[in-house]
């Protein structure tokens, strides 16, 4: 992963929340929130919360006396998440590095993380930090995207941009969001971090967009792909148009839908 892959700043948080969250994150946020709520935790830590898709789904399902600490490394993403959340005295917002969590050992019943582990510079270290802050018998729940070929819109956009920039194609989507998909490696990393019981479920969903333009805006302007395009002296609107055309050619010009797929991991301390 490149350092630039962690840059969710400028207009990216707003566009990410407006386009990417409904396009691909909401179905998995609802699923992860359901899994966490079934554990009836009293103290919950969310890592790499982004713009708060899981937070919005999970908070209403928690008990009235729960403690819910929501963290992200990116201050702009965290601030946007907080701005979307109704006032809730149970929630604490904190900028924090997943590899150096500012909490005492055995502080939480559940640690959850939706689509953040792919960004950890050292994934075993990140999982080990989750293990450290969990109480005995606690649970670590996280999700990662499957390989890009199983996530159709992301693959379509990546291929379209490769045609536009053949000498130096933007590869953020394949390199980072879809770069931690090997379930054998994931299991090995989680076990190396000290978890003894690990289950991995591969879960397919449908990504739906009201138009090809919506999906093109999501990927080209709501992720660090935007920075890759601009770093290549590319016209952002022209690149978005190219992605839109590729999506329309394959999926049609009205509302479109295609497969997305992710792995959901549950590990017990």
What is the per-residue pLDDT for 196?
Answer: 87
* Torsion region of 88: left, alpha or beta (phi above 0 gives left; psi -120 to 50 gives alpha): beta
Q: Tell whether 244 is covered by a domain.
A: no
Range of the domain at 18: 3-149+172-206+261-268
Q: Which of 238, 235, 246 is nearest to 212 (CA)?
A: 246
Domain-embedded: residue 44: yes
Q: Taking a C-beta distance cutoff of 8 angstroms, is the pair 172, 225 a contact?
A: yes
Element (H, E) at 208: strand 197-209
In a domain, 55, yes or no: yes
What's the rounded Cα separation, in Å, for the pair 86 and 56? 9
What confidence tens digit (pLDDT) does each residue in 82-100 have? 999 999 999 999 999 999 9
Q: What is the pLDDT of residue 2?
A: 43
Beta strands in 89-196 (DSSP E): 91-95, 108-114, 134-145
Residues of the chain with pLDDT under 50: 1-9
Domain assignment of residue 24, yes or no:
yes
Position 221 scores a pLDDT of 92
**Cα dihedral across residues 69, 54, 154, 127: positive or negative:** positive
> Total structural domains in the chain?
1
User: What CATH number does residue 139 fall under?
Assistant: 3.40.50.150
The reply to whether 131 falls in a domain is: yes
Domain for residue 48, yes or no? yes
DSSP 137: E
Could you tell me if residue 213 is inside a domain? no
Q: What is the pLDDT of residue 11?
A: 56
pTM equals 0.93
User: Which pLDDT value is given to residue 13?
Assistant: 81
The verdict on residue 160 lying in a domain is no
């Amino acid at each position: 992963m490149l350092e630039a892959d962690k840059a969710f700043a400028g207009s990216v948080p707003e566009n990410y929340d407006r386009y990417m969250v409904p396009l691909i994150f909401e179905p998995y946020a609802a699923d992860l929130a359901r899994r966490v709520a079934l554990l009836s935790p009293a103290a919950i830590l969310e890592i790499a919360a982004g713009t708060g898709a899981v937070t919005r789904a999970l908070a209403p399902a928690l008990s009235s006396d729960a403690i819910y600490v929501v963290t992200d490394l990116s201050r702009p993403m965290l601030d946007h998440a907080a701005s979307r959340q109704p006032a809730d005295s149970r929630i604490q917002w904190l900028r924090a590095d997943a590899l150096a969590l500012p909490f005492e050992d055995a502080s939480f019943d559940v640690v959850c993380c939706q689509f953040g582990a792919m960004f950890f510079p050292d994934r075993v270290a990140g999982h080990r930090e989750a293990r450290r802050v969990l109480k005995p018998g606690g649970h670590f729940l996280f999700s990662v995207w499957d390989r890009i070929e199983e996530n159709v819109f992301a693959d379509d956009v990546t291929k379209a941009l490769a045609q536009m920039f053949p000498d130096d194609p933007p590869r953020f989507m394949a390199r980072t969001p879809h770069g931690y998909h090997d379930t054998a490696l994931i299991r090995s990393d989680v076990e190396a971090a000290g978890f003894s019981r690990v289950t991995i479920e591969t879960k397919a969903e449908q990504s739906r967009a009201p138009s090809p333009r919506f999906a093109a805006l999501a990927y080209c302007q709501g992720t660090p792909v935007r920075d890759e395009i601009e770093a290549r002296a590319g016209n952002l609107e022209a690149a978005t148009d190219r992605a839109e055309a590729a999506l329309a050619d394959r999926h049609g010009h009205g509302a479109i839908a295609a497969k997305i797929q992710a792995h959901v991991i549950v590990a017990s301390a």
